[in-house]
Amino acid sequence: MIRRIARPMLAAPFIADGIEMIRRPQSRADVARPLVARYAGKAGIPNDPELLVRANGAAMVAGGALLAAGRFPRLASLVLSAAVVPQVALNDFWNETHAPARTAQRGKLLKNVGLLGGLLLSSVDTAGKPGLVYRAGMASDSVSRGLESTRREAKHTAREAKLETKLAALRAKNALG
């Protein structure tokens, strides 16, 4: 029940911010412009900050909608985590000298870091079901137990066959003799 309430709550700011980024990318593109200019060529992405802001916004809307609907919540959380990282990286809290602006930037930074933490938790939430690592370990243990059991049975069968062979040889010797 908590997941049905918490996931849409966690997704809501991403959907709202994503829509805003798609509709009005200019202000965020201005902030991202130096970073994009510096790394676009190296990363093999277009040197178009507005396009990248819109793409990030689209990822946030899509990931937020999936998370809110409870569809692929772990994948949606990872997508949203990747989408929020640029916002954390581009926060200018450390360089702000004006006290009210610094306080506002700190608030935005802490909000984004908190959302990132929630998303990381959500990305490992298996909704009470065993995760892939646990299931793989259990499958491995099952195979190991099966192999050990088969080995013991084969050893036991070989001993029985050896005893049966000796017994048959003794019977044949007694029958001849």
- SS3 (DSSP) at 72: coil
- pLDDT (0 to 100) of residue 159: 94
Which pLDDT tens digit goes with each residue over 10-55? 999 999 999 999 999 999 999 889 889 988 889 899 999 999 999 9
- pLDDT (0 to 100) of residue 61: 97
52: Cβ contacts below 8 Å, ≥ 6 apart: 29, 32, 36, 45, 46
Tokens standing for 83?
Answer: 């989408």
- pLDDT (0 to 100) of residue 173: 86
Question: Is residue 175 exposed (0-12), middle (13-18) or buried (19+ Cβ within 10 Å)?
Answer: exposed
Give this prediction's pTM.
0.65
Q: How many CB atoms lie within 10 A of CB 87?
A: 22
Query: Could you give the CA distance from residue 138 to residue 158 in angstroms, rounded to a whole number?
Result: 30
Which pLDDT tens digit goes with each residue over 78-130? 999 999 998 888 888 888 888 998 999 899 999 999 999 999 999 888 777 77
pLDDT at 2 over 90: no
- pLDDT (0 to 100) of residue 177: 67
The answer to whether residues 80 and 117 touch, using CB atoms and an 8 Å cutoff, is no
